[in-house]
Amino acid sequence: MEVFLPIAEVSVNIIAIFSLSGIVGILSGLFGVGGGFLMTPFLIFLGVPPTYAVANEANNILATSVSGSTTHYLKNTLDYKMGMMIVVGGAIGTLIGIYTFTYFKGIGKIDVVISLAYMYILAIIGTAMLVEGLGEIDKARKKIFVKKKLHVHYWIHGLPLRMRFQKSKLYESAFTPIIIGLFVGFIAAIMGIGGAFILVPAMIYIIGMPTKLIPGTSLFVTIFVSIIVTFLHSINYGSIDLILVAMLVAGSIIGVQCGQKIGESVDSTGLKTLLAILLLLVGIAIAYDSFFAEEIIRETTKVDTKNLNSFSQFIKRLSNEVPFLYSLFSIIFAVSLGIAGAFIRRFFSNLRKKYFPKKN
């Protein structure tokens, strides 16, 4: 069942997009990472050009982050002050990232840069997770329990402009979250990912936030970074395709909610190793595609606007004539679906507690 994307000007299989985004959503909900840097390569493999894959996945991440963040807001497990400081850095990092993206696009190397970036990021994350996962399985088998030092002080902890973060019970430099946000924003702009794989370890080991506040705060930061990335990609390149976004968001919101639910009842140590292997396999696939596969010149059938259906024509006109409004609409669309997803999950959760209470 193929559908033509009017902005990306390619045909994609609806079921493939929906199922893949659902599966990636489950993994993302289960582990808290892996949504962006799995889905964007999958979109590229399905034939979506890399620049469109990056922009539309950023819009998708906005929806899933809003969904997850709303759940944490309802549970009051968010440090807004810390989140906003990271967002300040994220905004600057995103602007630098978009500037870098524009430069590489101008010299015609953006596809290569995106492929290489994904290859290396997947290799690094996959290797680190595999080594950590195997180590944990080994220690659990040998029944070795190692007390890790949670706080190790680096140069970053000596920076000025210290402030109190009441919710996290921390007193540290504002530059720490700003610098972390800078890296996250930069990578998010280039690769169309949320940046949780940098943010979460940074929050644990560098900032030293309490664990229960980390997922919610990380999702809160991702909302703002994704909004800026989506807006700038839409304004500068006109690469947001609402039809693709709708398919991605529908699959991933359902997937993320299921993944979070599964994560509450499953020991994820062994699954983390499997995810690491999956990331490495996707990295190998990108490497093969980049270095060895013959360049397949995909025939893009230039469809005359008159031949598109009325909805596709409307989207194309909106994107070309009022890009600012179009980008605002795509952001509001993603945010609304995200909030709706969180409240629907809460509704079903309350319904389940009412009619199927847990027996003590």
Residue 38 vs 254, nearer CB to other proteins: 38
CB of 269 to other proteins, least distance (A): 16
Binding-residue total with other proteins (CB under 8 A): 14
Q: Are strands 170-173 and 162-165 parallel, antiparallel or unpaired?
A: antiparallel
Residue 1 vs 107, nearer CB to other proteins: 107
Within 8 A by CB and 6+ apart from 2, the residues are 11, 12, 13, 14
Q: Rule CB under 8 A: say whether 159 interacts with other proteins.
A: no
Percent helix, strand, coil in the chain (nearest 5)? 75, 5, 20
Output phi, psi for 121, to 5 deg. -65, -45
Of 134, 159, 262, 339, which lies in the binding site for other proteins, with binding defined by CB under 8 A? 134
Pattern of binders to other proteins over 266-295, x per CB under 8 A? Answer: --------------x--xx--x--xx----
Sign of torsion over alpha carbons 167, 168, 174, 175: negative
Residue 215 vs 283, nearer CB to other proteins: 283
Residue 142 vs 153, nearer CB to other proteins: 142
CB of 152 to other proteins, least distance (A): 26
**What does the alpha-carbon distance between residue 191 and residue 260 come to, in Å, rounded to a whole number?**
24
Place of tokens 């390149």: 237
Contact 331, 230 (CB under 8 A): yes
Q: Scanning residues 68 to 127, which ones bind other proteins (CB under 8 A)?
A: 112, 116, 119-120, 123, 127
**What does the alpha-carbon distance between residue 113 and residue 100 come to, in Å, rounded to a whole number?**
10
CB of 270 to other proteins, least distance (A): 14
Q: Rule CB under 8 A: say whether 216 interacts with other proteins.
A: no
Contact 279, 34 (CB under 8 A): yes
CB of 138 to other proteins, least distance (A): 9
Q: Which residues bind other proteins (CB under 8 A)?
A: 112, 116, 119-120, 123, 127, 130, 134, 280, 283-284, 287, 290-291
